[in-house]
A and B are shown apart, each in its own frame.
Chain A
Amino acid sequence: MTHVMDELDRSIVLATQGGLPLVPRPYARLADTVGTSQEDVMSRLRRLLAIGAIRRIAAVPNHYALGLAANAMTVWDVDDAALPELGPRVGRLDFVSHCYHRPRRLPEWPFNLFAMVHGRGQSEVDAKIEVIAALLGSRCKAHDALLSTRILKKTGLRIAG
């Protein structure tokens, strides 16, 4: 994790893993923590945003607390030739949070497209799965929806200090 970040960048990442400080001047506070100026912190964050090391600085809502209590990891066996066109269309659906092309593991796992679907309840999730099925049409041979029955661990990104 070194080629695009120097030690100070890394200190900034470590200092913000838990989030930004809730103070009127959060970037000045962060600068004090890592031992540089506010201007330096802001220009480093701008650079990390520009190269995509930071997706964005934002609030992440808790889907459950906002009423999206149901979710399913939906998996689809899509014709490889059609995936470049269909993958982005599934990813852009407003109820899909993550959408990836992943390898099949034959014979037990024929699915190559993964899409996390969220809804206010199971029937809403089921209806949204039907929307994806209709979008993929005959270019999808099979699909499944894996409901999560228990969260066993959730810590998010933690890099070693």
Chain B
Amino acid sequence: MLDAMDRKLVNRLQAGFPLCERPFDEVGCEVGLTEEETLRRVGALLAGGQLSRFGPMYNIERMGGAFCLCALSAPEADFDRIAEAVNAFPEVAHNYQRAHKLNMWFVLAVETAENIAELTARIERATGCEVLAFPKLEEFFIGLRVEA
């Protein structure tokens, strides 16, 4: 699926994209592609799903907002209804079913950190389940460089 040039391009683009007038031209020069071909390949990698995103990666916390990982234990028989109730909140950015007694894990993204407690209380009312919040106390590292 990825040819050698795609891999080179993906690895280069993970490191950072230049802030200049013709950034695709600059990246293309580095990896040995024309500007046009660089644009075409990035578009194809996004369309094909090999890249999930291309652009600024925002840190909501530095903008005054907050993320909070939360978990609840949903009874198996009621799981889908509870998942639907949780997903209906626009602040829920991701939600995963996981193999554990705490079987539903979701991330809240809110514009101000003070909203977290109020929001988890609303999710408890909507689901009938106790919501455990796991706010991060410290971040040790974020980011995985995948050798494509």
Of the candidates A88, A100, A147, the one whose C-beta lies within 8 Å of that of B98 is: A147
Q: List 28 A-B contacts (CB under 8 A).
A: A1-B64, A16-B56, A20-B56, A23-B39, A24-B24, A24-B39, A26-B24, A42-B20, A52-B59, A54-B59, A56-B16, A56-B57, A57-B17, A58-B15, A63-B144, A65-B48, A73-B98, A88-B140, A88-B141, A97-B144, A100-B137, A100-B139, A102-B137, A114-B69, A150-B96, A151-B94, A152-B95, A156-B53
Q: Looking at the complex, which of A2-10, A126-134, A135-143 is the stretch in contact with chain B? A: A2-10
Show the binding face of A for B, using Cβ within 8 Å: 1-5, 13, 16-20, 22-28, 38, 42, 45-46, 48-49, 51-63, 65-66, 68, 73, 87-88, 90-92, 94-103, 105, 108-109, 114, 118, 144, 146-160
18 more A-B residue pairs beyond the given contacts A24-B25, A55-B58, A66-B146, with a C-beta to C-beta distance below 8 A: A13-B56, A20-B17, A42-B20, A51-B62, A54-B58, A55-B57, A57-B57, A58-B15, A61-B10, A61-B50, A66-B2, A90-B140, A94-B145, A100-B137, A151-B97, A154-B93, A157-B109, A159-B111
Q: Give the B interface residue count (CB, 8 A).
A: 75
Which partner residue on chain A sits nearest B141 by CB separation?
A91
- Distance A38 CA – B19 CA, assembled complex (angstroms): 11
The DSSP consensus for interface residues of chain B is mixed
Q: Is the CB of B51 within 8 A of A60?
A: yes
Cα(A93)–Cα(B131), bound, Å = 31
A119 to chain B, nearest CB (A): 11
Q: Is B60 an interface residue (CB 8 A)?
A: yes
Closest chain B CB from A118 CB (angstroms): 6
A69→B26 CA distance, assembly (Å)? 32
CB distance from A1 to the nearest CB of B (A): 5
Contacts of A92 in B (CB 8 A): 140-141
Identity of the chain B residue whose Cβ is nearest the Cβ of A58 in the assembled complex: B16
B16, B43, B94, B132: the one within 8 Å of A57 (CB):
B16
Bound Cα distance A100, B19 (Å): 30
A105 and B132 contacting across the interface, CB-CB below 8 Å? yes
Within 8 A of A (CB), among B45-82: 45-46, 48-60, 62-65, 69
B141 and A151: CB pair below 8 A? no
User: Roughly how many angstroms separate A24 CA and B20 CA in the complex, as a whole number?
Assistant: 11
Nearest residue, chain B, Cβ from A2: B64
